[in-house]
Amino acid sequence: MKPSDGAEYSEYGVAARLRARAVAALEARRPAEALAAARALRTLRPDDPAARQLEAAARIARGEVDAARPLFEADGDAPADPEHAMLRARFEARESGPHRGLGIALDALARAPLDPALLSTAQELAAAAGRAPLALVLARRRLATGAAPDGAGLVQLAHRYLQAGWPETARELLLDVTSRAPEPPGARVLLGEACLASGRIEDARTAFEGARERGECSAAVWLGLARIAVALGHRDAARANVAAGLAEQPADARLLAFALVQGGDASDEDEWAARAERHLASG
């Protein structure tokens, strides 16, 4: 609420402009400009937590960690402002490890459970701390509250979970993603890979075939179906899927490599080897 007194209103306007300038400079990666605006704001309002928060963020961006710490610590271990808590959590994660930062983020979420920046930060730190179930809970909360990134961002997150060795976490997140419209490209293919990695063969086949029905006939789809056929002992079906994939993408290195490993008779292997050599020579 803006003050009614003329002088105070003028001060309010100056403070709002300084805050906006500091935020814009931080977003534009101009930390020196952000620091100047934040320090001016602190001169005008020395007890304003938002001013301390902005100066701390600017100093972190400039690499001035020691100067930032007392600014973060001024509000204790549980900053009341969600944005300040988010910055404090990231700072502590950087300085003391993800578990410390995660604790601060979770404490702040207890007071502001729908804050999108806090949800994002807590989810990121939970993943960094190796707490896959918690990361999944936070991802689902972001989906439920509309605070999640676009579908493509969630597919990338699931891919990181899969790479980190958390196929079940990736699978459960992708099940949520593929149940919502619009479904992002690649989500069903990655779901198939997550199902394969977690030993869910039939679920993987359903996912890959669903991707194919949606027109996503990428090398990953054919390769996934071929891997499923091999797992089930259907060698001919595996070769047929690889051949179908190579008919569409004859130079795909993954399909060629799979064909070399899982090839049939010697003449087939010679053919795949020749294709692989041509592919390597053209690259």
Q: How many CB atoms lie within 10 A of CB 34?
A: 25
CA angle 184, 190, 191 (to 5 degrees): 95
Range in 164-168, 197-201, 252-256 with the lowest mean pLDDT: 252-256
pLDDT over threshold 80, residue 5: no
Work out the pLDDT band at 3, boundaries 50, 70, 90.
very low
Average pLDDT, the chain: 80
Range in 57-71, 196-210, 262-276 with the lowest mean pLDDT: 262-276
- What number of residues does the chain have? 283
* Separation CA 43–CA 41 (nearest Å): 5
* Separation CA 194–CA 192 (nearest Å): 5
Q: How many CA atoms lie within 13 A of 238 on its CB side?
A: 19
pLDDT over threshold 80, residue 30: yes
Range in 4-18, 164-178, 190-204 with the lowest mean pLDDT: 4-18
- pTM, two decimal places: 0.57
The pLDDT of residue 92 is: 83
Work out the pLDDT band at 267, boundaries 50, 70, 90.
very low
Question: Is the distance from CB of 159 to CB of 174 less than 8 angstroms?
Answer: no
pLDDT over threshold 90, residue 45: no
Average pLDDT over every residue of 64-79: 73
Range in 44-53, 109-118, 123-132, 264-273 with the lowest mean pLDDT: 264-273
* Separation CA 189–CA 219 (nearest Å): 10
In tens, the pLDDT along 187-242 reads 999 999 999 999 999 999 999 999 988 888 788 899 899 989 988 888 888 888 88
CA angle 45, 101, 112 (to 5 degrees): 60
